Amino acid sequence: MSVHRDQQNLEGVLDAYEAELMATADEELLAESDEVELAAARGVLAMALAVADARQQTAAARRRRPVHRASSPVAVPAVRPRPEQMRATFSSDPTSALDDDDPGGLPD
Amino acid sequence: MRPPPDPIPLESIASPAVVAAALRDLSSAHLLRLRQIARMRSAGLVGVEWEDLLQEAFSRILAGTRRWPVEVPIVAFIAQLMRSLASEHHRQQAAHPFVTAEESSDPSGLPLAIADDRPGADLQMEANDFRAALVRRLEADPGALAVLLSHERGETAAETMARTRLTAHEYDAARKRFRRLVKQELERGGSS
């Protein structure tokens, strides 16, 4: 119980100290601190900003990058012979198209 | 039944760019305030230094996992965030105590002894030591003690001065001594 009370009391001291820090004039606070303390705080902020910046750049690069995945199906335009071509090719003799003089062209 | 209203209106939440700009604009005095607050909130935490706590607060606000309402002064918001983060760390450390088992040659594999490395115990000891040292020093300085009591009672400066019969100049000097005293004890007891 007394430990709990001590902890609460300590919280009270810390809260009082925080309130004092907030109420202290800037120039007074600067006079009470040294360059090393300030440099250390600046370092922490610079690190946090750099990490956030790197995260944003990575996210932006991911959004810009086209998706190339080996497993994804390759989109091939569907080329399908028209019905009349099919009929002409296989109209009577299924082998007639093979006898065509012009193998690259349409059947006669 | 209507859903409860969102306590933070969406339009008042700062965007990541606004947060980053506000942090870049923090003055030297604000950075020093935040450093001191991080120091005191990390006191008693195992493996969490003041830099870790401050960095965590900056990171969360930048990532948007803690949303900053722009009408709240950013220093006050970060201070509150660090208090909340420190509480989370204290709770986690109390819930997951570290137990060191000494190696045993016993074929049963049972450890010979288990050391009580609970962070809660460390915290209590450190808190008690810190408070005891602080109280000793405050008792030797009635003016500085009056500053502490003023905060604990929620008094205004004028009320405290009336109660203690301190002049404005004496009260200002007492406030300065109070800050210096707590800072010195934090530097002494906490990590650098």
Task: Name residue, tokens 């040292």.
Answer: B133
CB atoms within 10 A of CB A30: 15
- How many inter-chain contacts (A to B, CB under 8 Å) are there? 114
What pLDDT score does B18 carry?
92
Choose from B15, B18, B26, B33 for mutation: most chain A CBs within 10 A: B33
Query: Of A33-37, A66-70, B145-149, which gets the smallest average pLDDT?
Result: A66-70
CA atoms of B116 and A67, how far apart (whole Å): 54
Q: Does the structure's ipTM exceed the value 0.85?
A: no
- The amino acid present at B102, given as its one-letter code, is E
Q: Print pLDDT tens along chain B (192 aa).
A: 566 655 666 668 888 889 999 999 999 999 999 999 999 999 878 889 999 999 999 999 999 999 999 999 999 999 999 999 999 998 888 777 555 455 545 555 554 444 455 545 655 666 667 777 887 888 899 999 899 889 888 999 899 999 999 999 999 999 999 999 999 988 886 543
Collect all residues with Cβ–Cβ distance below 8 Å to A90 and sequence separation of at least 6: A97
Q: Is the CB of A17 less than 8 angstroms away from the CB of B179?
A: yes
Residue predicted with more confidence, A4 or A70: A70
Is a pLDDT exceeding 70 seen at residue A80?
Answer: no
What pLDDT score does B192 carry?
38
Chain A residues inside the 8 Å CB shell of B141: none
CA atoms of A5 and A2, how far apart (whole Å): 5
Claim: this prediction has a pTM higher than 0.90: no
Query: Of A8-12, A103-107, B75-79, B186-190, which gets the smallest average pLDDT?
Result: A103-107
Mind telling me how many Å the CA of A13 is from chain B's nearest CA?
7
CA atoms of A51 and A67, how far apart (whole Å): 25
In chain A, domain spans: 8-64
Handedness of CA B154, B35, A56, B63 (dihedral sign): negative
How close are the terminal C-alpha atoms of chain B, in Å? Answer: 53
**Which residues, listed in sequence order, are joined to residue B100 by a DSSP beta bridge?**
B115
Selecting from A14, A26, A32 the residue whose C-beta is nearest the C-beta of B180 gives: A32
**Which residues, listed in sequence order, are joined to residue B13 by a DSSP beta bridge?**
B69
